[in-house]
Every structure is written in C-alpha cells, then in structure tokens.
Amino acid sequence: MNAEVRPIRTAAEQALAADYQSAKKRLPGGPAFARLREQALAAFVEGGLPHRRIEEWKYTDLRTLLREAAPLADPPDKATFARAKKFDPLPGVDVRRVTLINGSFVGELSDLVQPEAGLTILPLSRALAEGHALASRIGRLLPPYYDATLALNTAFVADGIVIGLAAGSKLARPIHVRHLFTGAAAAAAYARTLVVVGEGAIATVIESFEGPDGVAYQANTTAEMQLGDKAWLEYVRVQAEGDAAIHLATVLADIGAQAKLHTCSLTVGAAVSRQSVFLRCTGAGSETRLSGATLLRRKQHADTTLYVDHMTQGCSSREMFKSALDDESRGVFQGKIVVRPGAQKTDAKMMSAALLLGDAAEADNKPELEIYADDVVCGHGATAGALDENLLFYLRARGIPRKEAEALLIRAFIGEAMEAVPHEALREALLARAADWLAAREHAA
C-alpha cells in the first residue's frame, strides 16, 4: 500500500480502533464477513472521523462532536424487557414488531412466528453465524465516497434484522424494527437492517429509535435496502432518541427497474443526529420519493444528507424535507442529485424548507445537481423563514391563542412531508408524534 496514511489523531479515533481489536473475536460472521470488517476498519484507520473540512460533513463536524468513543454497549438485561414491552412508539399501527435493545436482537420482544408466504425474517447475528443466504447480501451497497459512520457500523455491528421478500410476495402488515437503548451510562450500539425485496414484491418497513434522556449514548445504525425490478418498498423511520444521544444513521438502497421506493423520516430526538442516505437508481423507470420532517428544540442538531444517483434512464426522484427549528437548534440539509451520462429522461426534483421558530435557530441548506445527461428535467428549491405574522394574526383574530396558532401552522408546514405515507394508521401515528412535539412546545411557553 502506497496510499498516504493519515495518522490517527483523536482519542476517540484511537479508542475505536482499539475497541475493534478487542471486540473482533466476539463479533459474528464467517471469513467473508470478517474480511469486510477488516476492510472497513482499515478504511476508518485511514480516513478517521470526518470534520468540517470534509465537504459532506461541513455542517456536522463529527470529529469535534464525538470527543469520546463510548464503550460497546452490553447486551440488555431481562429487567429492561418488561419496561420495553409496554412501550409502543407507534400506537394504533398493526405491525409485526421486532425489537433490538442496545443493538442486540431480543427474541422475547420480537414476533417472528408464522411469517407470511415469501417472507424470511431473522436476526442478523444468526444470519451471519449460520451463513444464511441473505447474509451474503450484507455490505454489498457502498456509498460513492468513504463514510466513517458506515465503516464503523460494518466493523462493529453484531446484530440487527435481516428481512427478505421473495419475488411477487406481499407483506400482510408492516414490519416494525424497534431500536431501543437502555442503560444509564454512555455506550455505543451498532445495528444493521437488511431488506431485500424481490421482483414485484411489496413491503412496508418501519424503524424507530428511542432511548433515555440525559444519557450520552451513541447509536450507529445502517439500513441496506435492495429492491428488485418492480418491487415496492415503503420505508419509514422515526428517530426519537434521548436528548443527549448521538444518532448516526446510514441508509443505502439500490432500486431496480420500475421499482418504487418511498421513504419518510421523522426526526425529533438526539442531541446530534445525522442520516446519510445513498440511493442508486440502477434499473430504468424507477420511482423514488423521499420525504422527511425534522423537529428540533434547544441545542439539537440534525443533519440529513442525501446522495441520489441516477445511473440509468427514465427514473424519477422527489425529495421533500421540512424542518421546524426552535430555540438554538440547527437543521442541516444537503442533497445531491447525480445524473449520469446515460440517464436520459431523468425527472428529479428536490425541495427543502426550514421554518425558523427560535431567534437563534439555524438552517443550512445545500442542494446540488450534477448532471451529465442532456435530456432531463431536474430542479431544486430551498427556503428558510419564520412563521407568517399575517397568518398568525388571522388565526388569533378568530380566538386562537398565539402558541396554538403557531402549532396549527407548524403542523401544516411539516405535515406535507408525511402526507405521502399511504398506510393511514402509520401516517396518523407519525402525525401524532409530531403533535406531541408541538404540544410540548405549547406547554413550555
């Protein structure tokens, strides 16, 4: 190797590399996966944690934000199961629920029985240990550039969920992968979800992330989604981590010909969060719709960074991201659409809008188009602004108190990002979580 090797600089970087050396013997997977881990770690040793001079991480300086590498989280104890059992982050939605606590699959809190025809669902640890056919699909999708959080996930991940849908099959109810963190001390949890949707198969997969307030835990999650031709996946994620947590998520998807991928994310939690989304339209004529609502208060920081790669012709993509930023919070949106030379008839539109509710709130919007084809329709828009005082007055002139009037307008603003979720109960549950945030804001005043 004659590549220039950048020396590891920070304590956190050194600790992570050392943690890997002591943990690697306990991590599941055969020789092939062990090689993936080694490669990922080597990339991390070389690349380190990203900082503000790395363009993709300009607004989220992870090297500064991740000062200490928390020790790997212990598997959960049984005492926490009872509490976790009662806890339902999306009430009223009929789902097949699987639970991960501190990154470990918890069979007692997971429903894997009687999967419908065509559905394969099992813990990732088991898939790796048994060398399940689906395990070989893990780690296939890679971002266009080195990504530290994904590298760390690949190196450290011990468990997660593997979901496979055979061609032509249809999930009877959504699968809800519930990620919980429990414990009073800072710790790091890594989890990965693999979703392989066969040709023409239809599924809804939900992931939620929650944990206690006041604990500086670090949750690193990766979702890998592989959509066959004509597959249709609805993917919803709810990030409601505890208020001191760092949440680092990577979402990767390959979208086959005429397939549909619709995603919606709701971000309300964590002190610092980042979701990196890397999509590749690999087959012609696919339809991608990404939407997200981010609701932040106090000093919360949330970063959504998208990379949508139109590799072939006739694919459409729509991105609609809304954020409501209260107090001193900061919302970051970076969206890049790449249209490759052969990707004619691409139809891509990206929109991000931020509502600045707090005087010290900040929105950073960075849309980018990189187009190498000449017969395409591409556009982007970005807005940032305060609530319309004239609208507030209109509502107040009808007797609606100021905070309530604000809540109505904020809900209308962010609601647009959740409207497209076709599953009605799920959409209502998402709106209800947003309403909880608004209610807390109303009562805080």
Q: Answer whether 348's CB lies under 8 Å from 317's CB.
A: yes
Shortest distance in whole angstroms from residue 277 CB to other proteins: 25
Nearer to other proteins among residue 145 and residue 394 (C-beta):
394
In angstroms, rounded to a whole number, what is the distance separating the alpha carbons of residues 2 and 99? Answer: 44
Q: Answer whether 414's CB lies under 8 Å from 438's CB.
A: no
Shortest distance in whole angstroms from residue 276 CB to other proteins: 29
Output the six-digit token pair for 2: 């004659």
Output the six-digit token pair for 259: 């397939």
Nearer to other proteins among residue 54 and residue 434 (C-beta):
434
Shortest distance in whole angstroms from residue 128 CB to other proteins: 45
Nearer to other proteins among residue 145 and residue 393 (C-beta):
393
In angstroms, rounded to a whole number, what is the distance separating the alpha carbons of residues 426 and 430? Answer: 6
Nearer to other proteins among residue 372 and residue 393 (C-beta):
393
In angstroms, rounded to a whole number, what is the distance separating the alpha carbons of residues 39 and 2? Answer: 16
Shortest distance in whole angstroms from residue 381 CB to other proteins: 16
**336-375 mask for other proteins (x: CB under 8 A)?**
----------------------------------------
Nearer to other proteins among residue 359 and residue 374 (C-beta):
359
Shortest distance in whole angstroms from residue 167 CB to other proteins: 39
Name the nearest CA neighbour of 415 among 425, 393, 430: 430
In angstroms, rounded to a whole number, what is the distance separating the alpha carbons of residues 122 and 143? Answer: 25
The backbone torsions φ and ψ at residue 362, rounded to the nearest 5 degrees and listed phi first, read -135, 135
Using CB under 8 A as the binding rule, the residues of this chain from 392 to 431 that contact other proteins are: 393-402, 404-405, 408-409, 411-413, 415-416
Cβ atoms within 10 Å, residue 3:
6
Nearer to other proteins among residue 243 and residue 406 (C-beta):
406
Q: Answer whether 165's CB lies under 8 Å from 198's CB.
A: yes
Name the nearest CA neighbour of 310 among 276, 277, 275, 336: 336
In angstroms, rounded to a whole number, what is the distance separating the alpha carbons of residues 117 and 2? Answer: 51
Which range in 46-54, 164-172, 386-394, 422-430 contacts other proteins by CB under 8 A? 386-394
Pairing outcome for strands 175-180 and 188-197: unpaired
Count residues binding other proteins (CB under 8 A). 22
One of 391, 420, 425, 435 touching other proteins (CB under 8 A): 391
Shortest distance in whole angstroms from residue 237 CB to other proteins: 22
Shortest distance in whole angstroms from residue 324 CB to other proteins: 13
The binding site for other proteins (CB under 8 A) comprises 389-391, 393-402, 404-405, 408-409, 411-413, 415-416
